[in-house]
Structures are given as structure tokens and as C-alpha cells.
Amino acid sequence: MTTTRAEPQPADFADVRTTNLAVVLRHLRTHGPSSRAAIAASTGLTKATVSSLTGDLIGHRLLRETGLSGNRIGRPATVLALDGSAYASIGIQVGPDRLTALAVDYSGDQLLLWHRAVDRAARNASAITALAQRAAGRVRQQGRHVLGLTVAVPGLVEENGTVRLSPALGWSGLDLRAQVAGSLRSGDLAVSVANHAALAAVAEHRHGGHPEATLAYVSGAAGLEAGLIVDGRPLRGGRGYTGQLGRFTLGPAGTPSLQDNAGIEPLVRRALPDFDPEALADLGPAVEQVAVRARAGDPGVLAALRHTGSYLGQGMALLVNLLSPEVIVLGDHFATLAEWLIPAAEAELNRHTSIRGTRITASGLGLHAAALGGAVSHLDQVDTGRIPRPLG
Amino acid sequence: MTTTRAEPQPADFADVRTTNLAVVLRHLRTHGPSSRAAIAASTGLTKATVSSLTGDLIGHRLLRETGLSGNRIGRPATVLALDGSAYASIGIQVGPDRLTALAVDYSGDQLLLWHRAVDRAARNASAITALAQRAAGRVRQQGRHVLGLTVAVPGLVEENGTVRLSPALGWSGLDLRAQVAGSLRSGDLAVSVANHAALAAVAEHRHGGHPEATLAYVSGAAGLEAGLIVDGRPLRGGRGYTGQLGRFTLGPAGTPSLQDNAGIEPLVRRALPDFDPEALADLGPAVEQVAVRARAGDPGVLAALRHTGSYLGQGMALLVNLLSPEVIVLGDHFATLAEWLIPAAEAELNRHTSIRGTRITASGLGLHAAALGGAVSHLDQVDTGRIPRPLG
């Protein structure tokens, strides 16, 4: 009999404590401020264990005492609340035409959101590092500890942070993580680089109001890619890559790909044949223009949206037939056009699968969901009970 | 901040023990017979813990003492080996034309393999129950405890064991698990029903020599379906369904699906236009005939295989672009024809993805991989340390 699965690791009491720290944090995140007794009653942990765990968390500035609860029989109890203000994290989203920096704290509060226009020549590791440096400086000025930085990039990104191929950015074999980490002044910042759609999916799952265990985020910001959450976690591809939706074709050589039919840039070219192609470097204004003309009832624009929507529905059918996600979120530029795209997509989806019940919706996170997901991913480790080392 | 992820559960000492039982079983499965001291040295568990854990496992007949080891300095030590003979499990695979029953014990030794031809009228829960009953009886006569029975079915199977839609079997809304469980004489048998390609993927992963964490098994036995292993575990779809590869289409209404172009039945019709369509109920002999004629160099048959292979490559590209599996295993009838299909498929795959390194191979498990995967899935729980109750 061959052995085939991951080696289980011996468990010890440290694992138990880590798990129980996570249980306490989770209780407070779900139920809001609570007394130690309420935490114990709800989690099944003993009061002594809860006291020890919450002491640790207060020491790390992850909890704070907020006063006494009055609304109960007997002695008033001290109420504990999550205190997310001490820890923050930064996401930088790299698009064809701009860099976006975003910082959030552990409570999920957005601390800053900056956009920088960049052209192809200026879109490099130095520009990313400089922006990250300034964002980290600003957050540290507020007395917060910056846990990490994630750079969100379209295309194939290796787990070690090398961008293997990003047609939208014109990058291949770029060791972006090493370049950024090497030139950051503060060497203690954890740096990672990941696919932008995968990070946007994390943001939707955590902050977008889509707590479903299996979720697909469809991005049209730079090509056509999907970010996939499966069983509550980002899907890790066997070779490290996932969600390359735009490459789908079915037919003899030369058959157009899904990107050709459902991508945002082809949509803009179809909907606005009079649009200056030079301006396509920045899709945002063009997409707004499509929305304006659709709202005015322009038949050519509406036909182009129907075309894109039906092919998008075929792409969704691929996702539904393979993974049956509970929700598919149309992201970034697709979200801007969702009111026209979704009806066409849903009709087509139902023709191409027998699986029902996947909810199709538009992202409410705007164009910087990937930056948010990048920032959030460093804060996730805290929720699993691996709490940061005490603040110096 | 919205809460979105699964609630972590408080951990206790029972979880630690379960994990450590799994560690000991895994050590013996990987390294073969070992002394208690060797297990302790390799796993990092204390000798006292190892003695307690192995005592439990011997009591459950999962380990046995095999004598003394001589090849070491000092006092010879008792050697422990896995003893899989006490526990067994049964898989029944339901195909359009036959039922297959297979039993394996916890060592992975195959105890029986039976085939029963069935026509559509006789292919029902009663026939499945009768076959399962006889197989369980035979295994119990050998003094083994039967842990469970899994029925493998093509199409959409709900987690509760209801077959929602199986076009290949002509079933819809059939509560197969309840029917089989309700009519089995031995009520203590755990019964489950699952998709046949998903179960075949489990078998490939455990017994097919493909220990890769991310694996896709492509089945052509009844339609065109993929079984997906991700991060070492069967992929669970958000709505419970996965791998409906045959439904893929891309193009205007009426465009043929992937099943139309890459399925086994269309291949047989294309390769053997003179073949009696009535005989298609049993694809096995027709597929053998295709292989015979291909081997003889029949140009029409070779062209049909190239057509199927290229479209299969486009289907594989979908899997690679979405999940980048480390290995794709061509199963059942595709395995029989692999020497002609794989070259055409690989060429097409590389045209449709920039992701390299996915290995394409043919299954060595024959036509009953799903039955094997069904049986194995009940034994998997033992490997996770949830050991069966002591034998009466």
C-alpha cells in the first residue's frame, strides 16, 4: 500500500493553546464585547483558561477592558473587546496604469488608501517599494505595528513571490518579492507577492459580506482571472497557480478565447468603436463611459454588454461545473457594469450547467479589493491564534 | 468587520491523542515495521506516549508485534507492524451496463472483485443492496469487521447520498443512500454514495502511485467527469458538486460541448461508424475494438483518436488553468486508449496554458478505480486516528 497523504504532525499543548486563543478572538469577533464568564459559557473553555488566554491577548494589545457590564443579575463583570488598533498591514495593488496602496488595522478599519498613476516604464519594484515605504511610515506614525506587506499582481505568481508571467504588466521571471524585500528600509516587514484575483477573493470573503465557504471572484482589471476560495481558504494550485479564466477556448485552432469574448478591453473596443485606443491604458474612464452610454440606452453599447455578459456566463458555467461555488462575485470593472452583465450571464449560466443555487453578485469593494485582500492576509495569522510577538 | 470563516473549535486532550494515534499509524505506513523506540525517535513523541498509543492500537488489532529486531546495538526490541487484516470496507461502482463490487482491508489488500452485468431495468437500489450484502457476508466470513460501504455513481450526487441527476444512468432525485441503508440486513454498516470520478481520484491518490497533493482524474466511463484532489483531500464543491467536465462549451448556442468532442461514446461512434449502436450499452468491447484497429494502423480510427485527444487536451487546459494540478490521470476507457490520446492531448494542452509541469499519465487501476476509492474512503478515517470501536 503506497502512502500518499501529507504527514500528520505530532500535536502538543502549544497547539491547544494556539487553537484556544483563536477561539477567544473568534468569539469576540462574532459576538462583540463580552465578559470572561460569557466567553467561557459560550466556548466551553474553563473560566481559568479564559482568564489566562485573555490576559495574554490584553498583553499583546489585541483585547482591551471596556468597563463593567450592568445588564445582568449579580456582580457586574469587566467587559472585554477586540482592540485592533495596535496592528496593521499593507497591500499594494499593481495595475497596468496605477499603483494602489491600502492599509487596514486588525479591526478591519481602513487607515489609508492612495493611488499613484504609473506608466509602463515607471511600473517597477522601486516604485512599489517607495510607495510601500511611505505607507508603512504613515501607519507607524500612528503608533501601530506593521505586520506585513503584500503586493497584488495579475498573472502567474510563484509561491516564492516571483512573477513568472504577467502579460498585462509585460513582466516575466521578475523576482518581485526579493527586490521589494531587499530594498525596504525596515527589514522586519514580512513581504509577499500574490495573484491579484486570489487576493481580491480573500477580501470579498472577509470584508465583502460573502462568508460562503466556496466563492469565486471574477476580475477584469487586467485580463480575465478568477480568485477562488474553497472550504473557506484560498485555493492553492498544485503547481501554485489558479484561476486563469481568460485562457479558456474550445474549438479548432484560432477559436477565440474567453478573454477575447468576455474581457473588459474587448468589451470597450466593441462598445466604444470611436474610443481612442491610446486611452485604453487606463480602462477606468472607458468603463465609466460604457456605463453612461448603456444608461442612455445606446443600442450598440447594450449589444456589446449582452455579448460580454453571455460569454461571462459561459465562464461562470465552467466554475460552477467544476467547483459549484456558493457565490460568484463580479469584481472591479465587471462590478461597474454588473446591472447589464448579470442578466445575460445568468441566462447563459443556466443553459450550461445542471447545478443550481450559485448566487451571482457584484463586488461592493470597488477597484482596490486586491490591495485590501493583500493587507488582510497578514492579519489572518492573528485570527488563527498565532499572535504577534509583544510590541517593543 | 464582518466575520466570515468557520468557527474554530476548542481543542482538548482527546484531539491531541487522536492526532498522535494518526502520527504512529502514518509512521508505520511510511517506514514499515519499527520498534517503539524508533517510532519515538522519528516522531518526537515520548517513549511513554508511544507505548500507550501502540497499546491502544494493538488492542484494536491495528498493530501487531512481529518479533524482535536484531540489527541494532544493545537489547533487541520488539518490532511493531501494521495489521490491516481485521478491518475491511466495500465499494460498489454503478455503471450504465454493470455493477462492480470490491472489498479491501486496511492494509490495502483486495479481498474480492465481482462484476455483475445489469440492464437499465435491473440497475436499481435492490440490485446494489443485494450485491453489497453478499460482498459483506463474504468478508465477514473471513473474520473481518466491515467498516462501511460506498456506492460510486456518475453524475450529481448530494452529500446526503441522493443522486440528483445522473444522465448516464437515467436517474434523477433518487435517494439511493437511504434506500440501500434501509434495506441492508446489517444496520451497523456506514453507507455513503458519492460521484464515481471523485472516488476514483481518491483511489489514484492512495493506491495509484500518484501521491501528489493536487490531482485530477478524468473519467470517460459514463459521460465525461473529473475527480479532483486538492491539497491532498477530495475537493468539496460549494454546492456539493465538482468535476462536470463534459458540460463545457464556449461559443454561440448550439456549439458542441466538450463531451460531444472528447467523450468516449462519441469517439466510438466516430472511430467505428460500422459498429452496432445497440452494443454501445457496454462501451468496454467497443473501446477494445478501437484499440485493436488503432494498433493495426486504421487511419480513420487514428484520426478519431487524434480528434478526441486534442479536445481532451483542451479540457485538461481548463483544469490546469484553474487548479494547476501536479498530475492529470486519464482513467478507465481513456487509459485503455492513452497511447494515442496523450500525445494529441499534450500538444493541445501546451497551446492553451502558460502553466507548465502538470504530468499527464494513464491510470493503472483499470475500470474499477471508483469502487476501490469508495472502499478506501471508509478506511481513511482510521488513518486520521479515529480508530474503530473494539471488535466484539
Candidate from B323, B326, B351 with C-beta closest to A242: B323
Confidence class for position A1, pLDDT limits 50, 70, 90: very low
Query: Could you write out the DSSP letters of every residue in B44-71?
Result: ---HHHHHHHHHHHHHTTSEEEEEEE-S
The pLDDT of residue B70: 61
Confidence class for position B6, pLDDT limits 50, 70, 90: very low
Distance between A16 CA and the closest CA of chain B, angstroms: 5
Confidence class for position A2, pLDDT limits 50, 70, 90: very low
Place of cell 456605463: A291
**What is the ipTM for the molecules in this complex?**
0.89
Asked if A327 contacts A359 with a C-beta cutoff of 8 angstroms, the reply is yes
Size of interface A-B (CB pairs under 8 A): 254
Distance between A94 CA and the closest CA of chain B, angstroms: 21
pLDDT higher than threshold 50 for residue B3: no
Helices (H), chain B: 13-31, 36-43, 47-59, 125-141, 176-183, 196-207, 258-262, 264-271, 283-295, 299-323, 332-336, 338-351, 369-383
The pLDDT of residue A380: 80
Confidence class for position B380, pLDDT limits 50, 70, 90: confident
Q: Of B76-85, B155-164, B377-386, which gets the smallest average pLDDT? A: B377-386
pLDDT higher than threshold 50 for residue B143: yes
CA distance B350 to A288: 37
Confidence class for position A389, pLDDT limits 50, 70, 90: low
Q: Of A7-21, B170-184, B312-326, which gets the smallest average pLDDT? A: A7-21
Distance between A29 CA and the closest CA of chain B, angstroms: 7
Q: Which of B210, B249, B164 is nearest to B331 (CA)?
A: B210
**A159-169, pLDDT tens digit by residue?**
999 999 999 99
Confidence class for position A4, pLDDT limits 50, 70, 90: very low
Residues of B in contact with A363 (CB under 8 A): none
Contact B45 A232 (CB under 8 A): no
Interface of B with A in 218-277 (CB under 8 A): 226, 228, 230-232, 235-245, 247-251, 253, 255, 258, 261
Asked if A140 contacts A147 with a C-beta cutoff of 8 angstroms, the reply is no
Q: Give the amino acid at B48.
A: A
Contact B322 A321 (CB under 8 A): no
pLDDT higher than threshold 60 for residue B391: no
Q: Which of A236, A46, A1 is nearest to B203 (CA)?
A: A1
The pLDDT of residue B13: 66
The pLDDT of residue B121: 85
pLDDT higher than threshold 80 for residue A22: yes
Residue B187 or residue A330, greater confidence: A330
Mean pLDDT of B233-237: 93
Distance between A189 CA and the closest CA of chain B, angstroms: 24
**Phi, psi (rounded to 5 degrees) for A62:** -95, -20
Q: How many residues does chain A have?
A: 392
Asked if A98 has any chain B CB less than 8 Å from its own CB, the reply is no
Asked if A392 has any chain B CB less than 8 Å from its own CB, the reply is no
- Of the spans A196-200, B119-123, B250-254, which averages the highest pLDDT? A196-200
pLDDT higher than threshold 60 for residue B276: yes
Contact B355 A235 (CB under 8 A): no
Residues of A in contact with B26 (CB under 8 A): 3, 7-8
Arithmetic mean of pLDDT over chain B: 91
Which pairing describes strands A156-157 and A163-166: parallel, antiparallel, or unpaired?
Answer: antiparallel
Q: Of A70-84, A352-366, B216-230, which gets the smallest average pLDDT? A: A70-84
C-alpha cell at A378: 497578514
Contact A311 B237 (CB under 8 A): no
The pLDDT of residue A6: 42
Confidence class for position A370, pLDDT limits 50, 70, 90: very high
In this structure, the dihedral spanned by the alpha carbons of residues A325, A331, A333 and A335, taken in order and rounded to 10 degrees, is: 80
Residue A15 or residue B331, greater confidence: B331
Confidence class for position A148, pLDDT limits 50, 70, 90: very high
The pLDDT of residue B108: 85
Mean pLDDT of A234-242: 94
Confidence class for position A11, pLDDT limits 50, 70, 90: low
Mean pLDDT of A208-222: 93
Q: Which of A110, A135, A21, A143 is nearest to A388 (CA)?
A: A21
Distance between A253 CA and the closest CA of chain B, angstroms: 9
pLDDT higher than threshold 90 for residue B205: yes
CA distance A107 to A85: 7
Residue A333 or residue B69, greater confidence: A333
Asked if A26 contacts B7 with a C-beta cutoff of 8 angstroms, the reply is yes
Report the phi/psi class of residue A297: left, alpha or beta, with left for phi > 0 and alpha for psi in -120 to 50. Answer: left
Confidence class for position A122, pLDDT limits 50, 70, 90: confident
Asked if B1 has any chain A CB less than 8 Å from its own CB, the reply is yes
- The distance of Cα A352 from the centroid of its chain, to the nearest Å, equals 28
CA distance B128 to B106: 23
Between the alpha carbon of residue A48 and those of residues A25, A39, A155, A385, B120, the distances in Å are 16, 11, 50, 18, 64
What domains sit in chain B, N to C, each tagged with a CATH number?
Answer: 13-82 (1.10.10.10), 87-201+370-383 (3.30.420.40), 210-364 (3.30.420.40)
Residue A176 or residue B8, greater confidence: A176
Quick one: three-class SS letters along chain A? CCCCCCCCCCCCHHHHHHHHHHHHHHHHHHHCCEEHHHHHHHHCCCHHHHHHHHHHHHHCCCEEEEEEECCCCCCCEEEEEECHHHEEEEEEEECCCEEEEEEEECCCCEEEEEEEECCHHHCCHHHHHHHHHHHHHHHHHCCCEEEEEEEEECCEECCCCCEEEECCCCEEEECHHHHHHHHCCCCCCEEEEEEHHHHHHHHHHHHCCCCCCCEEEEECCCCCEEEEEECCEECCCCCCCCCCHHHCCCCCCCCCCHHHHHCHHHHHHHHCCCCCHHHHHCHHHHHHHHHHHHHCCCHHHHHHHHHHHHHHHHHHHHHHHHHCCCEEEECHHHHHCHHHHHHHHHHHHHHCCCCCCCEEEECCCHHHHHHHHHHHHHHHHHHCCCCCCCCC
pLDDT higher than threshold 90 for residue B186: no
Confidence class for position B196, pLDDT limits 50, 70, 90: very high
Residue of A nearest to B232 (CA): A5
Confidence class for position A185, pLDDT limits 50, 70, 90: confident
CA distance B76 to B67: 9
**Phi, psi (rounded to 5 degrees) for A285:** -60, -35
The pLDDT of residue B164: 97
Cα Rg of chain B (Å, integer):
23
pLDDT higher than threshold 90 for residue B280: no
Residues of B in contact with A207 (CB under 8 A): 1-2
For residue A151, give every residue at least 6 positions away whose Cβ sits within 8 Å of its Cβ, in sequence order, or none.
A91, A92, A93, A94, A128, A132, A161, A176, A177, A180, A191, A192, A193, A194, A374
Arithmetic mean of pLDDT over chain A: 91
**B17-50, pLDDT tens digit by residue?**
888 999 999 899 888 899 999 999 998 899 999 9
Contact A314 B250 (CB under 8 A): yes
**A54-89, pLDDT tens digit by residue?**
999 999 889 999 877 765 566 678 999 988 889 999
Q: Which of B362, B384, B359, B241 is nearest to A238 (CA)?
A: B359
The pLDDT of residue A325: 97
Mean pLDDT of B165-176: 96
Asked if B390 contacts B221 with a C-beta cutoff of 8 angstroms, the reply is no
% pLDDT > 70, chain A? 92
CA distance B262 to B278: 21
C-alpha cell at A239: 503547481
